[in-house]
Structure 1
Amino acid sequence: MIQEVFRVAMIVIIAVGAKYVLDFIYWMNRKIIEGTTGSVIARSAKALTLNRLVMSFLKYAVFLVALGLILREFGVSLTAYLAGASIIGFAVAFGFQGLVQDLLSGLFVILESQFVVGDMVEVGGQVGRVEEIGLRATKLRNYLGELFILPNRSLQQVGVYPLGCVVATVEVPLDTARAGDILRLLHEGAMQLRARYPMAVITDPDVAEAEAGPGHPLARVHLSVWPGQNWVIEKAYVPRIVQCFSKEGISIGEGQVVVHYGGKG
């Protein structure tokens, strides 16, 4: 009876001890991150991603050690446990090849800096900002706020947007006699577009004069758009500004409005 009570007490101590070890690891991790706030390490998305990976590894390591100690209380030797874990590991690796592919793919993504937390990427038709790169899956959040969890083995072809967006450049011919009005209408229309579609249009517009060549002045608008949401430019912005031009007696049709896109690497 006493032996059974002692065994239960040891199991409880091991479980509680494992919890405190994990709490201590997380506490130390927070202190390290807080202590490097503002440093190159703290600002490095790759460092943050590796930090999460290391924390995941430590969590599983503490769990496996605690499990081995608990099994020892039931008469299972640590040597047999480790040998069994090795055999099971090979069996799992063989039976769960997809899981192994996830782990290896995740490691290569991180070590090769293919992309990091915070990057805007396109994977399998899904466009979003990377929120987390884990041991098994990568999490993306799209412009509607939806969270997509993608197995790392699906990260075969990834498009990365270095600027974090697609830059839409809208050009219209600039009548020097009405230059002020044209620039004003372009800016007002762009600000209204941003207010109406704040998730699709990421930043405030940049409106300026330019030249396509000698004697060919242009008004040029730069808009940062969430990748895949170019429709807000072509279906909402361009028709709107042409309508505003018409109301103020400025003769610029949709055929005279040119749109360029850039920003994907």
Structure 2
Amino acid sequence: MDYISRLYSKMKLELLNEENWLSLGEMAMKIIAILILSNIIIRIGKVAINNIFKVRLKSPIRTSERRETTLMKLLENILTYVISFMAFLMILSTLTIDVKALLAGAGIVGLAVGFGAQNLVKDIITGFFIIFEDQFSVGDQVRIGTLEGVVQEIGLRTTKLKSGSGELHILPNGSIIQVTNFSIHNSKASIDISLAYGTDIIRAEQLIQELLVTLPEKYDDLVKVPEVLGVQNFGPSEIILRIAVETKPLRQTTVGRMIRRDLKLWLDQHGLEAQFQ
């Protein structure tokens, strides 16, 4: 009982000690100030990074917009990690924890943990080469394994991929083995037109070509005038003509629909019945 009484008296004295409360209040204020200041620095840093890349957009010497968007996101992530880590160390120092001893101990522990963190190291190294080699960038339409979507963010450790139905897939960079990028080169599409066997093929090709030469002025996504390749196949009751279309990346489906509509209206206007595939 005497021990408990002494412990109670000691705790009571500590709680009633104004200096202790002042010290705790000062410590809390420092921690709050560190958190606010680090948040402000991160925000200002992100604005500065955005402004730097806006200036680069007007420069005659610059990389592609895809790559600059990716680098901007990466720099923002690195800034956030670095400032957050520094704020964490400052908070530990405010709590009178010996940061130097902690870092020294972390080095030894890190060596031991490193053997179990091989996947993390692999993710970071792979992420570095993805960015360095410009394999894909933010905004690109890609297929990674069985997943397909638009790249939302590339970090040193993970890549975020948003699918067409809205799901967000977060992939460790070390798991990315094979990538198909649909956004780098122009896209191509084929439009097949079925005509009855009694149709004058030469006249049909000439009519189609007359329309095709006017389409680049109408659709900016067309890279060049679509080409009539000629007879592609003979069906049971129809002759199939094929048209080759080259568009800007990922625009082949939309442009293909519009060209099919224009062809249908054009051929109907000139008395030719056609079906499209």
Q: Same fold (TM over 0.5)?
A: yes
Q: Secondary structure at the match of 1:95?
A: coil
- 1:114 is the counterpart of 2:135: yes
> Per-residue deviation at 1:88?
4.6
Q: Secondary structure at the match of 1:51?
A: helix
- 1:55 is the counterpart of 2:81: no
Quickly say closer, same or farther: Cα 1:55–1:84, change in 2 above 3 A.
farther
Residue 201 of structure 2 is matched in structure 1 by 175
Q: Letter of the aligned partner of 1:48 in structure 2?
A: T
Equivalent of residue 243 in structure 2, options 216, 220, 235: 220
Residue 140 of structure 1 is matched in structure 2 by 161
Q: Secondary structure at the match of 2:37?
A: helix
Over residues 175-216 of structure 1, what are the superposed CA-to-partner deviations in whole Å (9 max), with x where a residue is unaligned?
1234466569999xxxxxxxxxxxxxxx57977554659xxx
**Greater relative contact order, per chain length (Cα 8 Å cut-off, separation 6+):** 1
Residue 38 of structure 2 is matched in structure 1 by 18
- 1:35 is the counterpart of 2:61: no
Residues in 2 aligned to 1:156 and 1:205: alpha-carbon distance in whole angstroms: 32
> Per-residue deviation at 1:108?
0.8
Q: Letter of the aligned partner of 1:176 in structure 2?
A: I
- 1:9 is the counterpart of 2:29: yes
Residue 194 of structure 1 is matched in structure 2 by none
Q: Select the structure of larger CA radius of gyration.
A: 2
Residues in 2 aligned to 1:207 and 1:31: alpha-carbon distance in whole angstroms: 39
Residues in 1 aligned to 2:210 and 2:166: alpha-carbon distance in whole angstroms: 32
Residues in 2 aligned to 1:70 and 1:84: alpha-carbon distance in whole angstroms: 18
Q: How much is the aligned-residue C-alpha RMSD, in angstroms?
A: 4.4
Residues in 1 aligned to 2:248 and 2:70: alpha-carbon distance in whole angstroms: 26
Structure 2, unpaired ranges of 5+: 1-19, 214-220, 232-240
Structure 1, unpaired ranges of 5+: 188-202, 258-265
Residues in 2 aligned to 1:75 and 1:20: alpha-carbon distance in whole angstroms: 24
Quickly say closer, same or farther: Cα 1:164–1:138, change in 2 above 3 A.
farther
Residue 88 of structure 2 is matched in structure 1 by 67
Q: Letter of the aligned partner of 2:89 in structure 1?
A: G
Deviates more, 1:2-11 or 1:79-88: 79-88
Over residues 17-54 of structure 1, what are the superposed CA-to-partner deviations in whole Å (9 max), with x where a residue is unaligned?
21121122122123223333443547532232122222
Count of matched residue positions in the alignment of Structure 1 and Structure 2? 235
Quickly say closer, same or farther: Cα 1:5–1:252, change in 2 above 3 A.
closer
Q: Secondary structure at the match of 2:115?
A: helix
TM-score after normalising by structure 2: 0.64
% same residue = 30
TM-score after normalising by structure 1: 0.66
> Per-residue deviation at 1:170?
3.3
CA contact (8 A) 2:189 2:246 kept: yes
